[in-house]
Each structure stands twice: as structure tokens, then as C-alpha cells.
Amino acid sequence: MDFSNLHILVIGDIMIDQYIYGEINRISPEAPVSILDQNSREYKLGGAANVAANLVTLSSNATLVGVVGMDDEQSILQELLTQHSIEAKLITDSDRPTTLKTRLVARNQQVLRVDRESKLPISKSVEDDLLSAITSLIAAQQFDAVILQDYNKGVLTRRVINAVITQCNNHRIKVMVDPKFENIDAYDHAYFLKPNKKEALTILSCTTEQFDQNIEAYCGQLLRDLDLDEVWITLGADGVVGMDKSGQFVSAKTTTKDVVDVCGAGDAVIAILTLLSCGDTPLQEKASATNTVGEIVCSKSGVVNVGYQEYITQHNATTQH
């Protein structure tokens, strides 16, 4: 499982996760709310940038493309990307902020999250700049796969999605998708789709009970409707299910007992699935690998990246049992 020669292009909604740590010892005299006495502040890569970070810590190479605002957070983002050795082409949009998610944390417990973002679709001129950058990158570099990381923040418009998938299919580059419901039909002809269970229920217009009783049939429906090679659905504490176009269906139960924080688990999952899909990895091994990285992330506080050696050690220990 050597990923060092792989180069993945990540396109999507880029974010910064800000953590403000402190102590709560009193209630405000102004309103019945807690007062957090701040001790420290920390910034981490979020969204599509966190996917790229996981690719790098798993020992592969990543290039990131997305849209940022003309603000101080853009500079913070650039510094974080440099620290993580992530190549990036960032398109600046003066009409939107760099997405910032601020979490207030006391005694390892998140007490509040504040989001600053725009969910409006990017303008045509920003689309033009974004697609020009993507076209140049694909023409100039040999990417092993492309990830479309969609959080419904307006960067992955139908035009962008269609153009990227068409270009990649013409260059025989696999496209991996972490989708949201909007524009779901635009993802047809991608290599795989990786929704979580909640997203899958919305996409399939079914209830939890219907899905649980017919998981394999619903996976097949997604494959056929969008003409995919594979589909993966993460089920939280219940693990993951996957199916390929030959009809092979696999599932893997998680062994996680103590979930500390689920933030960033989906980002790590699509990173490892993408890297393994660049080779001829069996479906069941991919399923097991998604649980491994998910368990690593969920066992720690905050958004963390999965290290290559940590992944190998835990994956080998799991498969030996």
C-alpha cells in the first residue's frame, strides 16, 4: 500500500476550522449564558482542504482548487496549506468570505459553533476562472484521480461538475465524489459516489426503515441511475456498505467503542477510498480501510488527519483479527 507516487486533484468547498479553547466558570450578568474565558486559539484546514491534508498525511501528493474570499482568513489558509505541503490554486471572489467555522471548546467539550460562509452559487466569471485553472492543471499534470468535495457552499455548480467530469473522462482520470443532494444528477459518469446515510436517504427519497431493509437494492439503484462504477455509503456507528457495477456488495461493521468526535471522518474516508481505488484493491479491503480511518479520526478530539503509519498499523491489526 504505497501511495507516495499518487497525485490527487481535490476540487470543492474550502474551509478553515477555528478552535477557541477556554474555561467556563461563570454565567454572564447580561444574559443567562456561559462565559468562556479564552486560553488559546487554533486554526485547522477544513472541508476540501482537510481532504487534501489527509491525502498528504497518508503519504500521497495533493493539489487543491477552490474559491476563497479577499480577507484575512485567505492568508491563514495559505499558511496552513504551505505547512501541509499542499499545492493549491485558489480563486479569489470579492463577493464571498473564506468559509470559517469557529468552535468554542471548554474541557474538550464543544459548547458552540459559529459559521461564517456564503452558500450562494459562484458567479459565471468566478466559474470561468475556476474552470480555466482546472483545465490548465489537468493538461499540465498527470493526476491519478480527482475528488469533487461538495458541501453545498456554491463552488461546485452544475456547470463546474459537468465540465470536470467530462474533462476527466476524456483523460481517463477517475472522478470520486463526496456529494450533497443539490445537483446530484450532475454527478453521473463519475467513478464512485460516497454519501453518508442521511445524504443517501435524501438522494433516494426513502425512509430509514425502507433503506435498512433494502440496502443492497438501493445501492444498485444509485449505481444504475448515475452510471457509476462504485457506490459507498457510510453508516456512522454501523460502518459502511459498498457495491460495484458487477453487482458485488460488501459491508464492514465498525469496531469503534468510544467515539470522541466525528468531525472530519468523512474527509478521511474519501481520501483512503480514492487512494485505494487508484489500484486494483478488492472491494472488501476498501470497506475495511474506511472503517480503519474512520475509527482513527473518531477516537480523537477535533479535526485530525490520518497518518500513513498509524493507518497501516491499525489496519493490519484489524485485518489479523
Pairing of strands 87-92, 61-68: parallel
Residue 58's closest CA among 269, 313, 311, 314? Answer: 311
pLDDT in tens, 20-61: 999 999 999 999 999 999 999 999 999 999 999 999 999 999
Residue 230's closest CA among 246, 245, 211, 217? Answer: 245
Contact 57, 272 (CB under 8 A): no
Give CATH superfamily name and number for 7-20+37-320: Ribokinase (3.40.1190.20)
Rounded Cα distance, 20 and 36, in Å: 9
Residues 289-308, mean pLDDT to the nearest whole number: 82
More confident residue, 237 or 37: 37
Indicate the domain borders of the chain.
7-20+37-320
pLDDT class of 182 with cuts at 50, 70, 90 = confident
pLDDT at 316 over 90: no
Catalytic residue selected from 72, 258, 267, 280: 267
Taking every pair of C-alpha atoms in the chain, what is the biggest distance, in angstroms? 64
pLDDT value, residue 167: 96
pLDDT in tens, 192-218: 999 999 999 999 999 999 999 999 999
pTM of the model: 0.93
267 is a catalytic site residue: yes
Q: Where are the strands (E) in 169-304, listed by range?
A: 174-178, 192-193, 230-234, 240-244, 249-252
Please list, in sequence order, all residues whose beta carbon lies within 8 angstroms of the beta carbon of residue 283, skipping any fewer than 6 positions away.
230, 242, 243, 244, 248, 250
Name beta bridge partners: 62. 8
pLDDT value, residue 262: 64
